[in-house]
Amino acid sequence: MRIAIQGATGSFHHIAAEHWFGSGNDYICCETFGDVFTALSEKKADSAVVAIENSRFGSITEVYDLLLEHKFPIVGEVAEQIHQQLIGLPGAKLTDIDEVYSHPVALGQTSRFLDSKLKNAEKVEFFDTAAAVEHIKRIGSIHNAAIAGHLAAEMHNMRILAKNIEDEQQNYTRFLIIKNGRTVVKNANKTSLVLQTDHQPSALYRAMGIFAKRNVNLTKLQSRPISGKVWKYQFYIDVETAGKQLDDIRHDLIADGCKVTILGQYMADPKTYED
């Protein structure tokens, strides 16, 4: 199978994809999330794995926008516990480092470590964690470090200068599995959908009542601007239901004046449940 991921092999997207699909697949490594969706559109990939949120950093809103724009179905989710490593050349020491390369999210996840141990080092945003490791290897300076997962250090024979430097030990990223083409997931128990209300006061409150009266739990509520409409928002909602009950909810929402777009029905990863 051809799987599009954001970032290089060795990245957390790669790790998440291996957990979902197993080994022996081909990877289409894309620089941006936009490129991942283009790879699906152009049928260069059969599936894709995209990060949608980190438990500390929050939603990756660009991916929310792309999901609605392209409407490839979500067929699964996988939550990965993220451990970030400070990675340098084999001869480097922590005190040598004056430039740190990584993805903005990884820089955000390790800001407490960076602010205390590498206060004066310049933080350079890079499109991918694992590619940042490749980049500093190519430069070959002991003054450069990258932040990435352990797999990237191993793949490139680099040294871990500081281990598990993430600010919060309970640091998870939730990845979505999306598929090129229609599909029905058996035993789905979770639905991702986009809701546009009629923009009247209390419209969102009424819509949430439609879930509440069935005791359906919302696990996520993410507002995003509606393109072309100033100060109007749509809501990306994850709910713990699917199938017939979801059909009923959708019917009631539409009857109440909402526009509903189903992004996918799939099995929840138990690691995404609240503690």
Interface with a second copy by CB under 8 A: which residues?
A: 53-59, 61, 125, 168, 170, 172, 199, 201-202, 204-205, 208-209, 211-212, 215-225, 227-233, 235, 272-275
Q: Which is nearer to a second copy, 25 or 55 (CB)?
A: 55
Q: How far is CA 216 from CA 77, 78, 219, in A?
A: 19, 21, 10
**Angstrom distance (rounded) from CA 132 to CA 260:** 40
195-208 b/e (C-beta count within 10 Å ≥ 16 → b)? bbbeeeeebbebbb
Q: How far is the CB of 3 from a second copy (least distance, A)?
A: 25
Nearer to a second copy, 141 or 222 (CB): 222
Shortest distance (Å) from residue 98 CB to a second copy: 17
How many beta carbons lie within 10 A of that of residue 178, not counting itself? 27
Q: Minimal distance in Å, beta carbon 164 to a second copy?
A: 16
As measured in angstroms, the least distance from the Cβ of 58 to a second copy is 5
Backbone φ and ψ of 134, nearest 5°: -55, -45
The least distance separating a second copy from the CB of residue 184, rounded to whole angstroms, comes to 27
What amino acid is encoded at 112 in this protein? R
* Of residues 56 and 159, the one with the C-beta less far from a second copy: 56
Nearer to a second copy among residue 65 and residue 248 (C-beta): 65
Q: How far is CA 273 from CA 73, 75, 122, in A?
A: 22, 18, 37
CA angle at 10 for the pair 7 and 14, rounded to the nearest 5°: 65
What backbone torsions phi and psi does residue 179 show, to the nearest 5 degrees? -125, 145
Q: Which of 19, 44, 43, 190 is nearest to 29 (CA)?
A: 44
Q: Which is nearer to a second copy, 27 or 266 (CB)?
A: 266
Closest to a second copy by CB, 57 or 101: 57
Output the smallest distance, CB 92 to a second copy, in A: 26
